Amino acid sequence: MEKFNYTVTDPLGIHARPAGLLVKKAAEYDSQITIEKDGKTGDAKKIFSVMGLGIKTGETITVTAEGRDEAEAANAVKEFLKANL
């Protein structure tokens, strides 16, 4: 299991456009990828699950990847978040 924390810096938080791109990035991997915020967990491969977390700027999320390509998946999601959010 790979796990990391990330603080969202985008002024709009995780809104529809970047959430859609995040879901597309997560779908490239076989591993299960989850995002946790304030005790709520969402599947990073499902747009409504990501949007349902209501992640705003300045909030810290925990991303977990678990599966056969977990290291690559976690690294790719981390780089995506840094570049886009």
Asked if residue 66 lies in contact with residue 1, where contact means CB atoms within 8 angstroms, the answer is: yes
Q: Which of 4, 10, 13, 15 is catalytic?
A: 15
CA distance 33 to 2: 9
Beta bridge partners of 61: 6
Mark whether 17 is an active-site residue. Answer: no
DSSP annotation of 19 reads H
Which residues belong to the active site? 15
